[in-house]
């Protein structure tokens, strides 16, 4: 009997709480929310600005390798077939591989950094805007198969105009 009485009371209260009889539609939707006390205002929190470069990954104390502005700029560099580093060095016609000292350091795991330092200045006078390609095998650099290389020499900032006459050649049949 007691359970039945509680069930009837619960059903009556539920119907009364949800009933919209004799109430305008907007009041029925906001009546319950209007009866709640106002929420306290939150204190103003001034969060510091955080740069992504300031963040560290858990378990590491390293930041990304930085370009060394004291080194000679290279025109371009790339890796071919995952085992040959090709550097386009600025030249006036007399630059060869032996003109550079190559320093390789293991950065992290299979990532290595490379610094190219010119031993002697190029004293020739030819106009070679694309520089000269210098190839270095990973094996001679001490980089294992599957390793990655990051050249720390800055990239030359000269403006290349790809549409300049003489810069590109079209072939005809």
- Of 6-15, 68-77, 164-173, the range with the highest mean pLDDT is 68-77
Q: Are residues 82 and 16 in the same domain?
A: no
147 lies in a domain?
yes
Strands of the sheet with 128-137, listed across from one edge? 76-80, 84-91, 128-137
Sequential DSSP letters for 58-125: TT---------TTSPPBSEEEEETTTEEEEEEEESS---GGGEEEEEEEEETTEEEEEEEESS-----
Helix (H, G, I), strand (E, B), or coil: what is residue 128? strand
More confident call, 84 vs 64? 84
96 lies in a domain?
yes
**Total domains present in the chain:** 2
More confident call, 79 vs 10? 79
More confident call, 117 vs 76? 117
167 lies in a domain?
no
27 lies in a domain?
yes
pLDDT single digits (tens) 98-152: 899 999 999 888 889 999 999 988 888 888 877 889 999 999 999 998 888 999 9
21 lies in a domain?
yes
112 lies in a domain?
yes
pLDDT single digits (tens) 154-166: 988 765 555 555 5
Q: Which residue range(s) make up the domain with 7? A: 2-31
165 lies in a domain?
no
170 lies in a domain?
no
Tokens of 86: 């090709």
Q: Are residues 27 and 81 in the same domain?
A: no
pLDDT single digits (tens) 4-42: 555 656 666 565 555 555 555 555 555 666 666 776 776
């Amino acid at each position: 009997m007691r359970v039945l009485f509680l069930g009837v009371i619960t059903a009556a209260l539920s119907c009364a709480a949800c009933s919209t009889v004799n109430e305008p539609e907007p009041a029925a939707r906001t009546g319950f929310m209007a009866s709640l006390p106002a929420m306290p205002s939150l204190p103003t929190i001034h969060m510091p600005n955080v740069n992504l470069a300031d963040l560290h990954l858990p378990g590491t104390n390293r930041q990304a390798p930085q370009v060394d502005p004291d080194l000679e700029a290279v025109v371009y560099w790339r890796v071919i077939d995952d085992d040959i580093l090709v550097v386009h060095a600025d030249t006036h016609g007399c630059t060869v591989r032996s003109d550079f000292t190559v320093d390789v350091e293991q950065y992290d795991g299979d990532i290595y950094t490379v610094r190219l330092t010119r031993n002697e200045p190029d004293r020739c006078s030819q106009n070679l805007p694309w520089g000269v390609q210098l190839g270095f095998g990973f094996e001679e650099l001490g980089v294992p198969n599957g390793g990655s290389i990051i050249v720390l020499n800055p990239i030359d900032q000269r403006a290349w105009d790809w549409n300049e006459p003489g810069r590109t050649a079209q072939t005809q049949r």
